[in-house]
Amino acid sequence: MKKIIIGLLLIGSITNLSAQTKKMKTYWDYYKTKVKESYSVLVSNPTKKHGYYKVYYKNSVIAIEGKYTNGKETGKWISRYEHNGEIALIMYFDSKGLQMGVEKKWCDDENHRLHVEGNYSKAKKIGFHKTYYCNSGKIKFLREFKDGLQHGKSTEYNKNGNVEYAYEYSEGVLTNEQKYYENGQKSFEKNKIALTKEMWYENGKPKEKTHYNSKWNKNGLSTKWDQNGTVVFEDTFIDGDSENKIAAAKAKEEASQAVEKENRRLAYVAKLKREAEAKDLAEFNEAKKIADAKYQELTDLFFTPKKNGRWTIKGRTGSFDLKKEHLYQAFIIYYNYAMKIDDEWKDDMVFKIGAQTSAAYLCDKVMGFFNSDSKAMEKQLKNLEDPVQIEKIFGYGQ
């Protein structure tokens, strides 16, 4: 009795399912002799495929076969090659239409070896995914995934089975990359955690090692070796610039600043010199003005206008009477002697100022002689032309 009831229920379910779907086909040709697609859709919603699904090549070989549930791919799906019908791909989907389980791909050649395999969960790659060389079956890529992102080690092998490239990831971020020679010896490594790059010769000896900052500018020690292990270059970098370069730039800057400072000093000295020269010139002009005035005043004392007659003494022409002639002549001789010395020192403004001051002093002193009883001095100075002797008689400087 129970068997009969179960059988009736199954018949009812099949009848109900058949009533819920409608079979559909598409064709490659107008006359509908070659099927392209064969599937079912929900009667309640014809846009949703439901049930087994097949796609055919023009040569009637099945291209794709699988199952839809309420418009979503579910279960096992198979793809085949057109020319021979061999399996090209197998995939699995869960009840929500998300890829799951092991995906496998096969090579399209006479060997039909496995080419790719890897696990999925909720449409995301997980665990190790492998790729093989079709001609040998040896592994070519080995990649590790976590929640759809590369995580852990990833390795690429050459045709001889030796590691060619090796990578390390952390949740999709590349943290380390390595390259290898054909003999299996490591040739290069870039470590994004340690922030270093290293290179090796094929004999395994170090070739280069450089430290970097987070922006991958050289930062820290950088060293290079020759194949014998001898250091051929070594320098320390700071944010991409070598310390030697920084030191050179600093020295250049300091030299430039020193030159600028010296130029400012020279400009200031030149300014002071100009100001001093202007001041000295003003002092000289003032001293000369005083000396010339005293000279004129003194010479005027020696001469009295003469009503009759005309004669000349030492360059002065006119009608005059000369008082204390020998004192005058001695004064003129010594004055001209002093001014001649002044000309020899014409580029020394201090001396020239002193000479004018001395000239004024001489005029004052001779004026004192003129205003005093100087008969005895007149006798001493008579016909005397030696300025040194005149200086002694005048007591100049005493």
Q: Tell me the pLDDT tens digit for each residue of 214-245.
A: 999 999 999 999 999 999 999 999 988 887 77
- Report the sign of the C-alpha dihedral through residues 365, 366, 371, 376, in that order: positive
Q: Tell me the pLDDT tens digit for each residue of 9-22.
A: 444 444 444 449 99
- Mean pLDDT (whole number) for 343-365: 77
Q: In which element (H, E) is residue 55 found? A: strand 51-56
pLDDT at 341 over 80: no
Answer with the residue of higher pLDDT: 59 or 331: 59
pLDDT confidence bin for 305, thresholds 50/70/90: low
Q: In which element (H, E) is residue 361 found? A: helix 349-370
- Mean pLDDT (whole number) for 370-390: 81
pLDDT confidence bin for 248, thresholds 50/70/90: confident
* Angle between the N-to-C axes of helices 243-302 and 325-344, in degrees from 0 to 180, rounded to the nearest 10: 170
Q: List beta partners, residue 198.
A: 189, 209
pLDDT at 312 over 80: no
| pLDDT mean across residues, the chain | 86
pLDDT at 303 over 60: yes
Nearest alpha-carbon partner for 145 in 122, 164, 171, 167:
171
Q: Tell me the pLDDT tens digit for each residue of 120-169.
A: 999 999 999 999 999 999 999 999 999 999 999 999 999 999 999 999 99
pLDDT confidence bin for 315, thresholds 50/70/90: very low
Tell me the C-alpha distance between 56 and 96, whole Å: 26
Q: Tell me the pLDDT tens digit for each residue of 193-206.
A: 999 999 999 999 99
Q: Tell me the pLDDT tens digit for each residue of 55-113.
A: 999 999 999 999 999 999 999 999 999 999 999 999 999 999 999 999 999 999 999 99
What are the structural domains, with CATH classification, of the chain? Answer: 20-94 (no CATH), 98-189 (2.20.110), 286-394 (no CATH)
* 128 CB-contact burial (10 Å; exposed 0-12 / middle 13-18 / buried 19+): middle
Tell me the C-alpha distance between 303 and 261, whole Å: 62
What percentage of the chain has pLDDT greater than the value 90? Answer: 55
Three-class SS of residue 156? Answer: strand
Q: What is the pLDDT of residue 306?
A: 52
Q: What is the pLDDT of residue 14?
A: 43
Tell me the C-alpha distance between 139 and 163, whole Å: 10
Q: What is the pLDDT of residue 63?
A: 97
Q: List beta partners, residue 152.
A: 169
Q: List beta partners, residue 316.
A: 313
Q: What is the pLDDT of residue 357?
A: 84
Answer with the residue of higher pLDDT: 4 or 281: 281
* 310 CB-contact burial (10 Å; exposed 0-12 / middle 13-18 / buried 19+): exposed
